[in-house]
Structure formats: structure tokens, C-alpha cells
Structure 1
């Protein structure tokens, strides 16, 4: 009998050679000073590596003129060059960045600024109709710098002298979780975590990703400002930053001859519906934030003519733990979220905490340099998420395949218990989107006196009125055990999403339960 192979894997560490974000920028400027590293289709501006380093140093000097190293600087901005230069300048100054969602509501803005202790906030006048600067100005004790169309005039600038030496273990950012339930927690992210994650991400993509990366992912989130900003610096790629809108993004892909596009699955769906046309330079699509199906992988690769790379991660892991490579075999790319990134340990644990055999579902745990140092001013939440041995308990259910790649099959807290049986929402959703009339689907459980919970499905039609509940029921019955088939159907125009493009299941449960 062959020995049981357990679901635990340590990916070999790859020393990036640099410890803090400023070092990665300096390396890029040293190795290729004339390389184009940042471009803004919205303003028409570009920066070479040497110019970007000089601009970031000037921002750092301007910040240090008014505040000491260690100060916390908030940004509440839409995508563009300003948040990138502020991120780099804050890092060089030895300060801590606090990126805030520019579409956040007043209570969310106040919570982020107060919890982080931000001394200053660089805020747009408005983003998508949200009066961001006014919301920040309403929080006592925060100096607000209003950033309008002339964004460069709003950024601090001074002749740089000697900048502080920054400790790799010092706090680089406080980012806020998506907040699908309860108040958002402040996630503490170190310089080392950002540097090793950006390095591993760029390494997993490899040369096939090319040297022009388009990033419409939000720059207040790890997908945008760690995987995007830091990853592009490591790759010495032109980082094309702009807000997401299908038309401008498709135009940028053609005009900048983009080789890699980062976009959440829902955004890729929207672009695919537009019909991207011929994009001969595009080689890789990068996505994450929610489970995708083999059918989704096949469709977007066919529409865009590029390979898909998928990541699993969360704010607490700098955005990435597992990732498929564009060169992975089809079964890995189509059916998993890949193997652990360099320097990461992954374990699939059973309810007792013991490692389960490969092929057996359990909770995904992760450990390594990219893991958060905990939640800001919340030791109880930190202890609940990270155990005494440094393992982050993600709350995600996963299966490790024989080769080491992992499949995420659901969330522990999202597991539906009906009639004594467990139902994984992800399994039902995967079956639903196989129906040609379904574009997207989300499944939740609602309390029921007799069954414990009932399975409720929310369906976004692929076009027109979509399939009937009877048709969808029959579709599921052919593919699922009876207890997994949804008992109630809701046809909706779209699914409520968080800022990081994750389905707000708590909101769907509220709607399904008939709450006002």
C-alpha cells in the first residue's frame, strides 16, 4: 500500500535581495534608468525608472518636511499616478500608508482614519460622485490635502537630502479588509511582506508576461498596490494605471501594446462582453478574488487569446498565497488556484488541526513572510486568525491535489447545513454557470425551522430573461445530489460585490431572508 501523502507543502524561499519597497525602486532605476516604468493613459504622462525614483524621492522629502518617519499617511484616491507616487514616497520616507477606498461611505472613512491614526489624508475632490475630500475633512484631527485635476500640484515636494533607513519589518501599510460582515479590520503589512510577495508574483508570471502591465485593479487594495505596483517594479515593466471602465481599458490595451492585464473575474466578464477585438501583444490575463470555473478559464482565454493566471490570496497575505503560472498544464490552470508562492508554507487542516491527506478537503492555513503581523489594535481578532505557531487560518475550504496545486471549494462560514448534510456553495455555483443562460451565480443558506437551512441561488442571466427556475432545477438535478439543489431562485441584474470584487454573501443572505 502506498504511503499517504499529506496536504502540506513548503515552497522554497527565493531571496529577492532587497528588503524594503524603496530598495526595489532603486534597483529598477539602477538596472534600467531609461526603462519606462509608469504611464497614465488618462493624463498622457509617463515616467522612466530614473524619473520615477526622482519623483518619489521628492515626495518623500516633502512629506518629511512636515512629519517624522513613522507618521501614517492616508490616501483616498481613484486610480492614477498620484496614489502610485504617494505610495512610493511614503515608503521612502519611512512612513506608513493607509489606503482608503474612495467610494467608502462616511462612517467607513471615519472608521479607517480614526483606527489608523492617520495624521494626513490625500483625498480626491470626488470619485464616482462620492465627495471624498469632504468626508475626510469631517473627521477631526486629520489634515486633508485635496487632490483635483492638477494632481501633481497637490503632492508634497522638496529637494531630497538623506532619507531615513527603513527597517524591512517596519509597518509599510495598514489596509482594510473588505468588510463583508462587521466593521473592517486594519491589516498590518510590513515592507518585507510586500517585497517578497511582489517578487514571488512576478516570478510566477515569468517572462511570458512581457514588459507592459495594465492595472485597473484598485490601488487602495493589495491586488493593485502590491501585486501591481511592487510586482511591476520587480519585473521592470511599464505599469499602466487607470480606473476601470471597459472602453478606456480596451483602448489602453491596444495603445500601450499591453502584454499583461490584471482584472477581477467580473471585470474580465465585462470586457469580454464588449468584444476586445485583436490584441496581438496580450499574453497573460491575471485574476483572483473569487473562485472561477474551468468554463470561465476556457471562455476568457478564447476571447482574449491569452493565458490566464489565477491567484488565491487575501489582504492578510498581501494578496497572494497560491497562484497558477501561465505555463502550467491545462488541468492546473483550469481547475486549481495553483501551488504556493515562493517562501510560503501551506497546510490543509481538518477540524482537529491535523493535516489531512491530499485530495481531502479541509481548512487552508498559510505561514510565511507575507502573512500579516496582525490586526491594528485588535489582539483578540489577531489571536483568532493566527495561531501560536504563526499559521494564518484563512477560513477557506480547499483540497490539495497530488501535484501540490490547490482547489478552493468554499468558505467554512459559508458552508450550508441542510437536513444534516453539508452543501458547499462553490460546488453549486460551478454547476449553475455551466448553464449557457447563466452569466454569474451565488448560493447562500437561509434559516429554516425544518431543514436547518435552505439552499437559495441568485442568478445573473447571460442575456434576456434567462432560464426559468424549473429549467435550472432540472439542470442541477442532473449534476448534483438532491439535497444540494437550490430550493429557491432569485434572478438579479448583478451580484453585490465588495471593493475587492468578492461577492457579499452576508448581503445576499439578508435579501434571501426577506430583511428590509
Structure 2
């Protein structure tokens, strides 16, 4: 029986909900103290729910020796035990976490620390060759709020002070839990204000959509400085009381962890899944326990869904969201019918209002493209110290205008068809980059594709395609043009082709279209 669309769009969060991250941790320790909740293969360490709560409380106690509730504590760390324990300890101490990409360059790191007003930074000595602790120390004199840089590199206990906590503060669900930074595809990254209620609402709804069987053992190489890792991963796994297997992404260790831990769920961005799918160790890896693959960060074509489900022997769950929505708004369930899993990004998560808005802001009929608007507890409370950007993104009624073009069917499942700013206008006609990209990746010699527009005096814009070949054979522009002409209207067929080894990606696995437009425009001069 079809879902009632009006109920789905304003779906409440079911049952009593823990209001803050500490409540979710206490719930897990209370209901299943001996269950394994965290493991880090790189260090060989594991934590039961009871042990994780004890260590998180000790981290909170150490923080509260020197810092007041409400202080902002930054982390710049690769995946491992440190970012998880600090996230939980900071939350219990009533402080605000500022997770920063450990691959940040000096100007990016200094910008994040200055804007956030962080008073302490826990930084990796070496994050994949990036000496972020040294970079932060060099910038410290220019950052009046930053009092201390803690260097992490010889085990988490060496850098994180532990102490018996005093009475932990009462934390308001609407208080600031994190300041997360947008990917910054254009201009400087903005600080996104995320509340405890937003994180808890999202983590629970996400885990519930995956289903109870998926989360027994959850291998998660998604970055813990981003909502995909520390909201969907940390909070989602805590809610599901799953063993959260945290490790940096590298294909061989991830495949090893899937086999060793008998994983039932793998979280990985599409680009990471693609690397795993082509790795020579995959055919010999025991994936017999794997049931669900979770991915997000970019739209994926039906051919990708078919390929990874066949290779991994598991169902794919796709989510669509952004930092401003704690990482998720829409999500397919592993149990959804094939057409929904292959062709959409699913229905709204519980606690989310969704509107597909026309130019005048009113909802458009099912099957009609419009801007995706979202509203609810998981939506950011705005950008840090940037009221103008906040007002531009969130209207007076609380709707976040995502800038994404989407369609919703009569049952509430959505399909994202592009970005408003990415829409190409050529010869008076609109071209959706996503539509062209889906046609291109259906070509057997194309692994990935991204389509952008470049200015042209005659046509307004010309369609340019960047293509990553699927194997050793490079498809010719003539082949690709013929392939598109058979499947697209003439004005949608790319006029210019670029074969590249890889597409530029943000830290959250989204294609940097602004960079591609810059490259295409430079080459067109």
C-alpha cells in the first residue's frame, strides 16, 4: 500500500527521544553494558558500552579541570580512538566540538580555529604526511582564543588528560554541540552550528532506516571530522548499540576489517566503494556476513547500485544530506523495492519536513522538479558569525533552501536532479548535469563523469564533460558523443570532452564543480 505523502513529509520522531549525545551513550551502557561498542583495528583496542562510558566520563573530567562548560574544543585528527573519545567527552562536559579536516592546509586550519574561537586543539603529529600539530603551533600566536595545542601521535592516553569527573553539567538539547565546516567548494568554509538535538534526531532516524539487523558490526572509514562519520557513524552506531569499527580509509585494511570483524554494515562514500570494488583483494575477502552498504555524499546512477550490490552481495542504502542537516535528510532503506533503491535517494527521515518548492515557494506537484527545502530538528541553527549567509539559507519559517533540484513521487521518494547553480543554460534550454552524467557512466568505458557549463558568447553556455575512463582503454570523444546522441536531446550533448585520471572532490566526497568550471574556462581561452 503506498505511503501517505502528507504524513511522510511531516513524520514525527517516534517515541521518547534522548535529547543530547550523552543520553544516547548512557542508554547504551544501561541497556547493554557488555556489548562491544567501539573497536579500532589499527590499535587493536576495543570498548564495551560500559568501558566507553567510563573513558568518555574520564575525558570529560580531564577537560573540566581546565575549561568551562561551553568552551570550544577543536580536533584535527585522522580516524582512530582519539576523535571518538574526544567527541563523547566534549559532549558530556557540556562543551562544543570543532572537528577540522586533518588534511587542512595552513590557511584553512587557521581560518577554522579563528572563526570557531577554539581554546584548545588536539592535533595529529602526522595526518597522512600533513604535520597539522606543527602547523597549528606556528599559527597559535595569531589566534588570541587558542590557549593550547595538544599533540596526538603516541596513543590516545598520551595526549588526552583523564580525570574522575565532577558532577557533569546538565546539557540543553538546543545547545551548540558542534561547529562543523562546510566543504568550501567556493570561498572560505562557513562554520555550521549543530545542536545536540539535531545530532541525536539524525543519528537515531538514520540507524532506524538502516534496520535493526544492519548495525551489529559497523565498519566505518568515513571521516570523523565530518557529519558522515561523527553523526551518522558515532551517534547512529551508539543508537543501534552496534560495534563501531573505526579506521582510516585504505582499501586493504578496510577489506581486512570486513572479514575479521564479520561486518554486517559498511559505510563508504561512492568513491571509496569504487576503490574497494576494483581492489585485487576483493574476490578473496570473506563478505558472507555483510548485509548492507551505506553510501552518500553524491547521487549515484542505477548502474552503480547494480554493480556494488552484485560485487559485495549486500543491499545499498543511499542517503542525501549536507552538513547543514547533520548529514542526512533523505534515505533509502535496504528493504525498499528495487526502483526506489536504484533510482531515488529515498524518503524523508523521521523528524523532517520536506518541500519541493517552485519559484514562488509553494509546493509543486509530484514528479515536478523544484528546489529541495527542509525543516526540522536536524537543521542547522545557522552559520557562525555570519547572519547574512544564515538569512540567505534559512527563511523566516525555518525552511533551509538547499539549492538542490529534486523531484518527489506520490509516495514520498525523492530523486535529486542537480543543483540550481549547476544548471546549464545553453541556447535558451536548461541542461541538468546529473542527467548527462548518468548517461555517460552507463558507457562501459566510463567510470565517473562530471558535467559543467562554460560561458559562450553565442550559446550562453556550452556543455563540457570531464570523464574518468573505466579501464586501460580511453573512450574517444566521437564514441562518447554518439553514445549521448542516442540517449539525449541534441542540446544536452557535451560539446567538449576532457579525459582525466580523477575528479576533484571535497572532503565529503562531492565533486568540486567550481574547480571544473575554472579548468574548463581556462582551457577555453
TM interval, shorter chain, is over 0.9
- Number of paired residues? 512
State whether structure 2 residue 150 is matched by structure 1 residue 145: yes
Task: Tell me how far apart the structure 2 counterparts of residues 149 and 456 of structure 1 sit (CA, whole Å).
Answer: 48
CA contact (8 A) 2:183 2:508 kept: yes
TM-superposed CA distance for 1:380, in Å, is 0.3
Task: Tell me how far apart the structure 2 counterparts of residues 196 and 433 of structure 1 sit (CA, whole Å).
Answer: 35
Task: Tell me how far apart the structure 1 counterparts of residues 231 and 429 of structure 2 sit (CA, whole Å).
Answer: 40
Q: Which residue of 2 aligns with 1:124?
A: 124
Q: Which residue of 2 aligns with 1:353?
A: 361
Q: Which residue of 2 aligns with 1:248?
A: 253
Corresponding residue SS for 2:288 = coil
Q: Give unpaired runs (5+ residues) of structure 2.
A: none
Q: Which residue of 2 aligns with 1:189?
A: 194
Q: Which residue of 2 aligns with 1:53?
A: 53
Task: Tell me how far apart the structure 2 counterparts of residues 208 and 61 of structure 1 sit (CA, whole Å).
Answer: 35
Q: Which residue of 1 aligns with 2:219?
A: 214
CA contact (8 A) 1:8 1:348 kept: no
Q: Which residue of 2 aligns with 1:395?
A: 403
Q: Which residue of 2 aligns with 1:318?
A: 326
Q: Which residue of 1 aligns with 2:237?
A: 232
CA contact (8 A) 1:147 1:154 kept: yes
TM-superposed CA distance for 1:7, in Å, is 12
Greater shift, 174-183 or 145-154, is seen at 145-154
State whether structure 2 residue 26 is matched by structure 1 residue 26: yes
TM-score, with length taken from structure 1: 0.98
TM-superposed CA distance for 1:11, in Å, is 2.0
RMSD: 1.3
CA contact (8 A) 1:263 1:287 kept: yes
Greater shift, 128-137 or 258-267, is seen at 128-137
TM-superposed CA distance for 1:153, in Å, is 1.3
State whether structure 2 residue 180 is matched by structure 1 residue 172: no
Corresponding residue SS for 2:522 = coil
Corresponding residue SS for 1:208 = coil
Residues 312-461 of structure 1 mapped to structure 2, 5 A cutoff: 312-461=320-469
Corresponding residue SS for 1:274 = coil
Q: Deviations over 1:209-268 (max 9, x none)?
A: 141001100000000000000000000000000000000000000001111000000000
CA contact (8 A) 2:73 2:96 kept: yes
Task: Tell me how far apart the structure 2 counterparts of residues 311 and 188 of structure 1 sit (CA, whole Å).
Answer: 21
TM-superposed CA distance for 1:6, in Å, is 8.8
CA contact (8 A) 2:64 2:165 kept: no
Q: Which residue of 1 aligns with 2:85?
A: 85
Task: Tell me how far apart the structure 2 counterparts of residues 193 and 231 of structure 1 sit (CA, whole Å).
Answer: 12
Task: Tell me how far apart the structure 2 counterparts of residues 111 and 8 of structure 1 sit (CA, whole Å).
Answer: 40
Task: Tell me how far apart the structure 2 counterparts of residues 6 and 419 of structure 1 sit (CA, whole Å).
Answer: 39
Task: Tell me how far apart the structure 1 counterparts of residues 157 and 401 of structure 2 sit (CA, whole Å).
Answer: 42
TM-superposed CA distance for 1:17, in Å, is 2.4
Q: Give unpaired runs (5+ residues) of structure 1.
A: none
Structure 1 counterpart of 2:161, from 138, 156, 160: 156
Task: Tell me how far apart the structure 2 counterparts of residues 122 and 179 of structure 1 sit (CA, whole Å).
Answer: 22
TM-superposed CA distance for 1:498, in Å, is 0.3
CA contact (8 A) 1:217 1:243 kept: yes
